[in-house]
Amino acid sequence: MPFSDVIGQDRAIAVLKRSIALERVAHAYLFSGIEGCGKKKTALAMVQAVFCGKEEACGVCSSCRKIASGQHPDLHILEPDGAFIKIDQVRELQKELAYRPFEAPKKACIIDGAEKLNLASGNALLKTLEEPPGNALMILITSERSAVLQTILSRCQTLEFQPLPAETIEERLVRDQFPAEAARVAATLSGGSLSRAFEIAGDGVLEGRVTFLERVLTLNLKNINTLFSAAEELAADKEGLPGFLELLLSFLRDVLIYRSTPDALANADLAHLVAREAERCPETVTMELIEQLVALRRLLVRNVNARMALEVFFMRLAAR
């Protein structure tokens, strides 16, 4: 997966290519940006290029093929074990980095989910970040830069990855044989995340969004058991919950802009629902709900009790 396989991140890739060409590759990077915008793919492309010895990896040599298949002995990928990256995982990584490379010019590691480093594991990693053994290359990835320990941030060169343009995502979905209308709506609702767009277009999310929106928008405090049941059911769907919250956030944004620019709705096919909610809910209340929903998403990333957090938000939504 060379750099040319990454879409929509030309600025970040230009920086990395230049550092490789000038032989000024930093020892530690932090790639930050929303989920699904190409951070991990770029990290793999960079390791591939460094190991290949070129600005753009050839993609056909033994080293490139092993990285593409996840089989290179000098590349180590570290991900959270449960809610956090644990200190034992960091120590095992440090042990691996201390060995001499088997084939590549240096060792490399990708830490996917740097915000999941807790105080103990983060502190254990500090010395390695400052002085990687054998001039190892370390790339940390996060979708929540504000949740990364400050001591980690200060030891990395940071690259910001931008959300992908909806047009770019739509073109990719169409190229991958998704129907044009599904591609358009999924790209609009994806928030700039290609992976999220694939989920929306391919997992029945579009078909179920009207039912979901009708359900949460009709919650009321007079039937609190129904409200609690909705929170319990959504909290139990850990994989689907982020997508449903993104749908609701997109809908509330449409409600907010409906009065001024009704032709600019992300959910253009649901204009009747948007109009109904705009008439019902004052602008200031809609803004508060959006702020609360964004805060809820941050809390869920930090592993709070999802059911309780949803109950609180649904009560605020039902009281509008």
Question: Class of 3-160 per CATH?
Answer: alpha beta
pLDDT tens digits, 236-267 = 988 778 878 888 998 999 999 998 888 888 88
pLDDT on residue 203: 65
pLDDT for 298 beyond 90: no
Q: How confident is the model at residue 168 (pLDDT cuts 50, 70, 90)?
A: very high
**Quick check: 204 pLDDT over 70?**
no
Domains 3-160 and 204-318 are alike in CATH topology: no
- pTM: predicted TM-score of the whole model, two decimal places: 0.77
CATH number of 204-318: 1.20.272
pLDDT averaged over every residue in the chain? 91
The mean pLDDT of 169-191, rounded to a whole number, is 88
Domain residue limits, the chain: 3-160, 204-318
| pLDDT tens column, 68-113 | 999 999 999 999 998 899 999 999 999 999 999 999 999 999 999 9
SS (H, E, C) the chain: CCHHHCCCCHHHHHHHHHHHHCCCCCCEEEEECCCCCCHHHHHHHHHHHHHHCCCCCCCCCHHHHHHHCCCCCCEEEECCECCEECHHHHHHHHHHHHCCCCCCCCCEEEEECHHHECHHHHHHHHHHHHCCHHHCEEEEEECCHHHCCHHHHCCCEEEECCCCCHHHHHHHHHHCCCCHHHHHHHHHHCCCCHHHHHHHHHCCHHHHHHHHHHHHHCCCHHHHHHHHHHHHHHHHCCCCHHHHHHHHHHHHHHHHHHCCCHHHCCCHHHHHHHHHHHHHCCHHHHHHHHHHHHHHHHHHHCCCCHHHHHHHHHHHHHCC
For residue 285, the model assigns a pLDDT of 94
